[in-house]
Amino acid sequence: MSLPPFFAALGSDHYLTPDDAAAHSAPHAELDTAWRFYADLFGGFCGSRIDPQFWRHVNPARSLGTLAVDADTAVIVVGTGPSLARRLPALKLLRSRVLLFTSPHGADVLAGHGIQPDLVVVDPHTSIDDKPAPIAGRTRAPAGGPLVAVSPRTPMDFMAGIPIDRLFVPDPLPTWGLWPATAVALAASASARRIGLLGVDLDDTDGSADWPLGGVLSLLAWIADVPCLDCGQEGAVKAGWPVATLEEAAGGSRALPPEVTRTPRLSMPERFDLDRARLEAIDPIVRRARTLLSLGLRAQAGARWPGDARAMERAAIELCSWRDDAAMRVTLQDTLGLSFLPRLWRNGVELQLGFRLWRPIVLAAHELVHQADKLESRLALRMCA
């Protein structure tokens, strides 16, 4: 495997320090560098795995899968930027010598030109080049169509009509929430010979070359043991991705289709049962959050009592202290799909706010309580079904 395991570990948002990540993945010389990217670009929280709508319960993918490609195979990650249209003739000529990884929108654009990709990466957290998947329509071929890699939190609209045998959840899932970077990470993990970008141009007109996608792509070029080439000359320069032609990126022989080694996922009933157990485990925290929410709402309404500032301070400290139990922290975050409290755990609170601490208290406690109630309702409906 040519991609260090810490990349997927950081994207899981399960760790608060690089030492913690190293202890749970593996020590690596570039982990500190990757952590700086993670902290600078995302504030130490990608949010790429959170599932506040609990789509994981009904995700139809039945298997976890590890992707592999032939040793001499080049992968082109195809976006829909200007360089794609300008190089479509060259791409068609070289199609048999490369594997194409793209997004749902990219698959639709390619299909309009008679090209079927080999892998569609569905990463619903991303905003660039993303919309509900038309994969099952024009891109389906008699052989079954492209493989489709999905995260457990993928909404059903993105998977409508896709043959079950084409779906899989990558294991591990190397995402920081931006599909082009996820596609590059999958290609690197699959031991591709070379990785090229086409149509992933980024917009350099407003200085956005430094926005998160460009940063993560540069990080991947740095840590992946595989040549990374930018086959589109338009848009922002990406550090670590020298400009090259498609001919230079392509392999010398016919590219064999990618293969997926599959293991069964938990069944839908098992996923519901797992969340019941998790909800029971976090019940003491949920009940305590209800108390803190009441305290914060009273302050929000303008009621002030002697000692309230100190009470707000204690409540804020308590909310932040839940980060110290790593297992509970991860269970809360993953089970309930929390986003505000995990950021509070990383950024802390300004205790000098005093009485005004009711704001972060209400935001964090309300999200936690609301999500717990929503999950409980979902599980109750399942029991009645």
The reported pLDDT for the residue numbered 142 is 38
Shared domain for 102 and 136, answered yes or no, is yes
Residue 6 predicted with pLDDT over 60:
yes
Establish if 225 belongs to a structural domain. Answer: yes
Establish if 40 belongs to a structural domain. Answer: no
CATH number at residue 72: 3.40.50.10240
Last residue in a domain, options 233, 264, 295? 264
Span 342-360, average pLDDT:
91
As for how many domains the chain has, the answer is 2
Establish if 15 belongs to a structural domain. Answer: no
Q: Which domain holds residue 239?
A: 52-264
Shared domain for 98 and 203, answered yes or no, is yes
The reported pLDDT for the residue numbered 273 is 96
Which pTM was predicted? Answer: 0.92
Span 171-185, average pLDDT:
95
Shared domain for 204 and 320, answered yes or no, is no
The mean-pLDDT minimum among 44-58, 231-245, 302-316 falls in: 302-316
Residue 161 predicted with pLDDT over 90:
no
The reported pLDDT for the residue numbered 125 is 65
Shared domain for 101 and 247, answered yes or no, is yes
> Helix/strand/coil (H, E, C) string of the chain?
CCCCCHHHHHHCCCCCCHHHHHHHCCCCCCHHHHHHHHHHHHCCCCCCCCCCCCHHHCCCCCEEEEEECCCCCEEEEECCCHHHHHCHHHHHHHHHHEEEEECHHHHHHHHCCCCCCCEEEECCCCCCCCCCCCCCCCCCCCCCCCEEEECCCCCHHHHCCCCHHHEEEECCCCCCCCHHHHHHHHHHHCCCCEEEEECCCCCCCCCHHHCHHHHHHHHHHHHCCCCEEECCCCCCCCCCCCECCHHHHCCCCCCCCCEEEEEECCCHHHHHHHHHHHHHHCHHHHHHHHHHHHHHHHHHCCCCCCCHHHHHHHHHHHHHHHHHCHHHHHHHHHHHCCCHHHHHHHHCCCHHHHHHHHHHHHHHHHHHHHHHHHHHHHHHHHHHC
Establish if 229 belongs to a structural domain. Answer: yes
Q: How far is CA 320 from CA 136, 140, 345, in A?
A: 45, 49, 5
Shared domain for 272 and 258, answered yes or no, is no
Establish if 199 belongs to a structural domain. Answer: yes
Shared domain for 226 and 277, answered yes or no, is no
Last residue in a domain, options 264, 282, 307? 264
Establish if 362 belongs to a structural domain. Answer: yes
Establish if 207 belongs to a structural domain. Answer: yes
Last residue in a domain, options 264, 292, 310? 264
Shared domain for 303 and 168, answered yes or no, is no
Shared domain for 245 and 278, answered yes or no, is no
Shared domain for 258 and 284, answered yes or no, is no
Establish if 34 belongs to a structural domain. Answer: no
Q: What is the mean pLDDT of the chain?
A: 90
Shared domain for 222 and 337, answered yes or no, is no
Shared domain for 171 and 293, answered yes or no, is no
pLDDT tens for each residue of 202-237 = 875 444 445 799 999 999 999 999 999 999 877 788
Shared domain for 161 and 298, answered yes or no, is no
Name the more confident of 289 and 307. 289
The reported pLDDT for the residue numbered 134 is 47
